[in-house]
Structure 1
Amino acid sequence: MKTYDRDVKNRLSRIEGQVRGVMKMVEEDKDCREVVTQLSAIRSAVDRSIGLIVAQNLEACIRDAHEKGQKADDAIQAAVNMIVKSR
């Protein structure tokens, strides 16, 4: 089982705060351009978080495969599939 590090948790907490901020903007009827700008920033933050999580998982899987004397091809393909699916 993967243990997520502090960086991942901090990123997700910031995203959570950004979403709350957008909810407040919507409740206050802020200009749609401002809302969309903030939503774009959230999407970018989510994409970077996905990349970080996939990279950390891939690193662990490759290390594990290496320790077991196995090829890491399956782990690499799984990571690529996760990234493609997230788009």
Structure 2
Amino acid sequence: MEYSADMKNRLKRVEGQVRGVIKMMDDEKDCKSIITQMTAIRSAIDRATAYVVAKNLEVCLREQTETEEERDEVIEEAIKMLVKSR
């Protein structure tokens, strides 16, 4: 599967958030602010994961399946990936 610029940009934003939290720690910011930002990072990762799985599912359904049985297998695999990511 080809990963789009949008997918990569989502992770680059997360990367920036992580750097921001490290800077907050270096600046000895309060715990509540750091935890709030870490929660936002977790949420962003969850959304990015769901986006990648959804796009992968879409590509697989369009390009790699011919029968309903194959489509069901691809959908089941995508659901397992989402559940595992939680």
Extract unaligned runs of 5+ from structure 2: none
Which residue does the alignment assign to 1:58?
A: 57
1:65 Cα deviation after fit: 3.7
CA distance, structure 2, for counterparts of residue 3 and residue 21 of structure 1? 29
Which residue does the alignment assign to 1:14?
A: 13
* 1:70 paired residue among 48, 58, 67: 67
Identity of matched residues, %? 51
Q: Any runs of at least 4 consecutive aligned residues in structure 1 with deviations exceeding 3 A, and if so which?
A: none
* Deviation digits for residues 33-82 of structure 1 (CA, Å, limit 9, x no counterpart): 0000000110110011001000000001111244xx22201100000000
CA distance, structure 1, for counterparts of residue 67 and residue 56 of structure 2? 17
The count of residues paired between Structure 1 and Structure 2 equals 84
Extract unaligned runs of 5+ from structure 1: none
TM-score normalised by length of structure 2: 0.93
Q: Secondary structure at the match of 2:42?
A: helix
Q: Secondary structure at the match of 2:10?
A: helix
Q: Which has the higher contact order (CA 8 A, sep 6+)?
A: 2
CA distance, structure 2, for counterparts of residue 11 and residue 21 of structure 1? 15
